[in-house]
Every structure is written in C-alpha cells, then in structure tokens.
Amino acid sequence: MKQKNKIIAMLQVLKKEAMTKEGEKKIIDQFNRKVESVGGIQALIHKLKVMYHYFRDPGVSMKKKGLVGAALLYFILPTDVIFDWLPMVGYIDDMAAVLFVWRFLSKELERFEQGKELN
C-alpha cells in the first residue's frame, strides 16, 4: 500500500510537468526511444502507444492530457519509486502507474484507439 501511495503522489507531480511545454517536449522526444529500449510485455507497450497518441491528439482536454502525460513521464524517467536500471524489478512500478491511469480513462482510451485504428 505504501508503494501505491508513492506512485500516486509521483503521478500528481508529473501531471503538472506533463502540462508544461518542457514536459510535453520530454515525452515527444524520449517516448519512442524508451519503448524500444525496454521491449517487454506487448500488451503494456500497446497501451503505452495508445496513451502516447492520445496525449498528442489536439482534441484531448488539457486535464486528461496531464493525467496521461504523467503516466508517460513516469514510464520515461528512470528515477521513480523503483529505479528502472534494476533488472526485471525496475519496471513494476511503471506498469502500476500506467495501468492505474489506463483504468481511470479506460473507456475513453479504448474509444480513442478504435476511432484512430491504432495498432
């Protein structure tokens, strides 16, 4: 439970960063490189890609972009609750953060995915 609270607190901080030009630039510049470097569970990578396209869509509200952007920054940044450089374990908290945001916006993200025919 303690880790979950830390992840949620970090997402709240990153949401503010994601809503800035600097945060948006960091996501756009580093997302694809990070996805390529981790490989991993394809279902999670697919969700991340949907979230990335959702974040980039000009029709999405800033509030929702901030939330999705927070999850993307959490994934991109190596220093979060569990450092990404720890083999195998380093991405457990990243998955938790991404899935937390996905569940919160699941219906909208799924509609977005179907409407954009993202693969």
Given a cut of 90, whether residue 36 has pLDDT beyond it is no
Residue 80's pLDDT is what?
59
> 114 or 89, which is more confident?
114
Residue 43's pLDDT is what?
78
Per the CB < 8 A criterion, the answer to whether 69 and 24 are in contact is yes
> 70 or 78, which is more confident?
70
Given a cut of 60, whether residue 52 has pLDDT beyond it is yes
Given a cut of 70, whether residue 83 has pLDDT beyond it is no
Given a cut of 90, whether residue 88 has pLDDT beyond it is no
Given a cut of 60, whether residue 117 has pLDDT beyond it is yes
Domain residues for 13?
A: 2-116
Average pLDDT taken over every residue of the chain: 85
Given a cut of 70, whether residue 111 has pLDDT beyond it is yes
Given a cut of 70, whether residue 21 has pLDDT beyond it is yes
Per the CB < 8 A criterion, the answer to whether 55 and 69 are in contact is yes
**Full-model pTM:** 0.82
Per the CB < 8 A criterion, the answer to whether 19 and 40 are in contact is no
82 burial class (0-12, 13-18, 19+ CB within 10 angstroms)?
middle
Residue 2's pLDDT is what?
74
Number of domains in the chain: 1
Per the CB < 8 A criterion, the answer to whether 73 and 26 are in contact is yes
